[in-house]
Structure 1
Amino acid sequence: MMENIITASGFRRLKMLNILFFSEKSLKKQELIESVECSLNTLNADIKLFNDTCPPEIAHVYEEDKRLFLTSAPEISFDFLQAYMITNSDLFVLSLSIFNDDKLTIPEWAEKNFISPASFYLKLKEIDTFLARSRLILHNRPLQIEGNEINIRFYFSHLFTKSHPYSGWVSEEISFDQINLFIQEFEAHMGVFFSLSSRMEYAIAICVCLTRIKQGYAAELSPIEKSTIHDIYTYYSAENIDFSALNQFLDAPMNLIERYTILNISFLCSFTDISRERVEFRIDYHQKFRRQRFTLAEDIITLLDRRIQDTHTIKLAILDYLTRFTFVKKTNLILDVDHFSKKFVPDVITLETISAKLQKYERNPDYAFIRDNKKVISAYLHDLFNVTLMNEMFTQRLHVKIISKNGFLWEEYLKGQIRQHYSEEHLIFCEELEPKEHAPQYDLIISDSPVEVASHTKVLVWHVPPTARDFKKLGEIIESRKI
Structure 2
Amino acid sequence: MKNIITASGYRKLKWLNILFFAEKPLSKKELTVAVECSLNTLNADIKLFNSTCPVELAHIYEEDRRLFLTAAPDINFDFLQAYMITNSDLFVLSVSIFNDDKLTIPEWAEKNFISPASFYLKLKEIDTFLARSRLILNNKPLQIEGNEINVRFYFSHLFIKSHPYSGWISDEISFEQINRFIQKFEAKMGVYFSLSSRMEYAIAICVCLTRIKQGYLADLTPEEQRTIDDIYMYYDSKTLDFSDLDQFLGEPVSLMERYIILNISFLCSFTDISLERIKFRIDYHKKFRNQRFILAEDIVTLLDGRLKETDTIKLAILDYLTRFTFVKKTNLILDVDHFSKKFIPDIITIEAILEKLQKYERHPDYTFIRDNKKVISAHLHDLFNVSLMNELFTQRLHVKVISKSGFLWEEYLKGQIRQHYSEEYLIFCEELDPKEHAPQYDLIISDAPVELSSQTKVLVWHVPPTKRDFNQLEQIIGARNV
Give the aligned partner of residue 110 of structure 2: 111
Shift of 1:343: 1.1
Paired residue for 1:269?
Answer: 268
1:126-171 per-residue CA deviation (whole Å, 9 max, x = no partner) reads 0000000000000000000000001100000000000000000010
SS in 2 for 1:4: coil
Task: Give 1:414 deviation, angstroms.
Answer: 0.4
Question: Normalising to structure 2: TM-score of the pair?
Answer: 0.99
Do structure 1's residue 474 and structure 2's residue 476 form an aligned pair?
Answer: no
Structure 1 residue identity aligned to 2:183: Q
C-alpha separation between the residues in 2 aligned to 1:304 and 1:40?
Answer: 46
Which residue in the other structure is 1:199 paired with?
A: 198
CA distance in 2, matches of 1:175, 1:162: 19
Distance 1:33 1:323 in 2: 40
8 Å CA contact 1:80, 1:166 repeated in 2: yes
Alignment of 1:383-462 (within 5 A): 383-462=382-461
Deviation at 1:339, TM superposition (A): 2.5
2:239 match: 240
Q: CA deviation at 1:341?
A: 4.2
**What amino acid sits opposite 2:210 in the alignment?**
T
CA distance in 2, matches of 1:327, 1:26: 45
Task: Provide, for residues 393-420 of structure 1, a one-character-per-residue CA deviation record: whole Å limited to 9, x for no partner.
Answer: 0000000000010111110000000000
The secondary structure found in structure 2 opposite 1:438 is: coil
Q: Give the deviation of 1:325 after TM superposition.
A: 0.3
Q: Report the Cα distance in structure 2 between the residues aligned to 1:141 and 1:400, rounded to whole angstroms.
A: 65
SS of the residue aligned with 2:314? helix
Question: Which residue pairs with 2:220 in the alignment?
Answer: 221
Residue 211 of structure 1 aligns to which amino acid in structure 2? Answer: T
3-state SS in 2 of match to 1:343: coil
The 5-angstrom pairing of residues 155-304 of structure 1 reads: 155-304=154-303
2:224 and 2:351 mapped to 1: Cα distance? 32
- Cα distance, 1:342 vs. partner? 3.4
**Counterparts of 2:436 and 2:341, CA distance in 1:** 29
Q: Do residues 17 (structure 1) and 16 (structure 2) align? A: yes
The amino acid of 2:268's aligned partner reads C
* Structure 1 CA distance for aligned equivalents of residues 218 and 61 of structure 2: 48
Q: What's the CA shift string for 1:88-126, capped at 9, x where partnerless?
A: 000000000000000000000000000000000000010
SS at match of 1:432: coil
Query: Partners in 2 of 1:49 and 1:365 — Cα distance?
Result: 49
SS in structure 2 of the partner of residue 248 of structure 1:
helix
Residue 320 of structure 1 is matched in structure 2 by 319
Count residues with an aligned counterpart: 482
How far, CA to CA, are the matches of 2:411 and 2:215 in structure 1?
60
* SS of residue matched to 1:131: helix
CA deviations over 1:295-344 (Å, ceiling 9, x no partner): 00000010011111000100000000000000000001101111224310
Amino acid at match of 2:103: L
Amino acid at match of 2:464: P
Contact 1:275 1:439 in 2 (8 A): yes
* Residue 166 of structure 2 corresponds to residue 130 of structure 1: no
Conservation of the 8 A alpha-carbon contact between 1:361 and 1:370: yes
**In the alignment, which residue of structure 2 is the partner of 1:373?**
372
- Name the residue aligned to 1:334: 333
Q: Does the Cα contact within 8 Å between 1:402 and 1:429 map onto a contact in 2?
A: yes
8 A contact 1:185–1:241 mirrored in 2: yes
Does residue 73 (structure 1) correspond to residue 76 (structure 2)? The answer is: no
Q: Which runs of 4+ in 1 moved over 6 A?
A: none
Contact 2:13–2:84 (CA under 8 A) maintained in structure 1? yes
Partners of 1:210 and 1:478 lie apart in 2 by 52
Contact 1:19 1:341 in 2 (8 A): no
1:70 is aligned with what amino acid? L
SS of equivalent residue, structure 2 residue 2: helix
Q: Is the Cα–Cα contact under 8 Å of residues 2 and 338 in structure 2 kept in the other structure?
A: no
- SS of the counterpart of 2:401? strand
The residue that corresponds to 1:52 in the other structure is 51
CA–CA separation in structure 1 for the residues paired with 2:14 and 2:399? 44
C-alpha deviation, 1:251, in angstroms: 2.7
CA displacement 1:237-267 (0-9 Å, x = unmatched): 0000000010000131111000110000000
**Native 8 Å contact 1:190 1:236 kept in 2:** yes
Aligned CA-pair RMSD: 0.6
When the two structures are superposed, what TM-score results if normalisation uses the length of structure 1? 0.99
**Cα distance in 1 for residues equivalent to 2:362 and 2:239:** 39
CA distance in 2 between counterparts of 1:125 and 1:468 reads 78
**Deviation readout 1:454-474 (Å, 9 max, x if unpaired):** 110000000000000100000
Which residue of structure 2 aligns with residue 140 of structure 1? 139
Contact 2:442 2:456 (C-alpha < 8 Å) held by counterparts: yes
- Report the Cα distance in structure 2 between the residues aligned to 1:16 and 1:108, rounded to whole angstroms: 34
What SS does structure 1 have at the residue aligned with 2:465? coil
- Cα deviation for residue 33 of structure 1 reads 1.2
In structure 1, the residue matched to 2:464 is: 465
Partner Cα separation in structure 2 for residue 186 and residue 271 of structure 1: 11
**Structure 2 Cα separation of the partners of residues 427 and 453 of structure 1:** 22
Q: CA deviation at 1:440?
A: 0.6
Query: Retained in 1: the 8 A contact 2:25–2:66?
Result: yes
Q: What is aligned with 2:5?
A: 6
Answer yes or no: is the 8 Å Cα contact 2:20–2:77 preserved in 1. yes
The residue number in structure 2 matching 1:82 is 81
User: Matched residues in 2 for 1:245 and 1:349: separation?
Assistant: 44
Kept in 2: contact 1:214–1:251 (CA 8 A): no
Check the 8 A contact 1:33/1:40 in 2, yes or no.
yes
**Partners of 1:109 and 1:143 in 2: how far apart?**
9
Partner of 1:33: 32
**Deviation sequence 1:66-94 (CA, Å, 0-9, x none):** 00000111112111100000000000000
Q: Deviations for 1:144-202, whole angstroms, at most 9, x for unmatched residues? A: 00000011000000000000000000100100000000000000000000000000000
Return the alpha-carbon distance in structure 2 between the equivalents of residues 478 and 127 of structure 1.
60
CA distance in 1, matches of 2:338, 2:299: 22
Matched-pair contact (CA < 8 Å) for 2:402–2:445:
yes
Aligned counterparts of 1:220 and 1:474: Cα–Cα separation in 2: 59
